[in-house]
């Protein structure tokens, strides 16, 4: 069993967890899936503040990437492009 800290909002076993929340996972495959995709980290490896800061940075990077994609698509769709 491992205690994980959520880096993104997670619904695990029917319960919602916000960024920074800690929860227990007993299934090794689930632990691997949650940590490999970056949704959670094993508690103790990072503090709640670090986990929250990392999640905020990841969200900002994703938003910037989405904005860049939208700008590219808009430029391609513009007349004369």
Which pLDDT tens digits describe the chain residue by residue (81 residues)?
899 999 899 999 999 999 989 999 999 999 989 988 889 988 776 666 676 777 788 888 889 999 999 999 999 988 875
Identify whether 64 is part of a domain.
yes
Bridge partners of 25, per DSSP, are 2
E strand or H helix at 32: helix 28-36
Quote the domain boundaries for residue 72. Answer: 2-76
Identify whether 21 is part of a domain.
yes
CA 59 – CA 78 distance, rounded (Å): 28
| Total number of domains constituting the chain | 1
Identify whether 81 is part of a domain.
no
Q: What is the pLDDT of residue 47?
A: 62
Residues 27, 45, 38, 11, Cα dihedral to 10°: 50
Judge if pTM exceeds 0.75. no
Sign of CA dihedral 30, 55, 6, 13: negative
Identify whether 72 is part of a domain.
yes
Q: What is the pLDDT of residue 53?
A: 78
Q: What is the pLDDT of residue 48?
A: 61
């Amino acid at each position: 069993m491992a205690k994980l800290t959520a880096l993104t909002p997670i619904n695990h076993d029917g319960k919602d967890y916000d960024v920074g929340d800690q929860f227990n996972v007993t299934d090794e495959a689930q632990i691997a899936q949650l940590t490999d995709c970056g949704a959670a980290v094993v508690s103790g490896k990072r503090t709640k503040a670090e986990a929250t800061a990392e999640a905020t940075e990841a969200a900002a990077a994703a938003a910037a990437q989405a904005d860049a994609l939208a700008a590219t698509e808009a430029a391609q769709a513009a007349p004369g492009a």
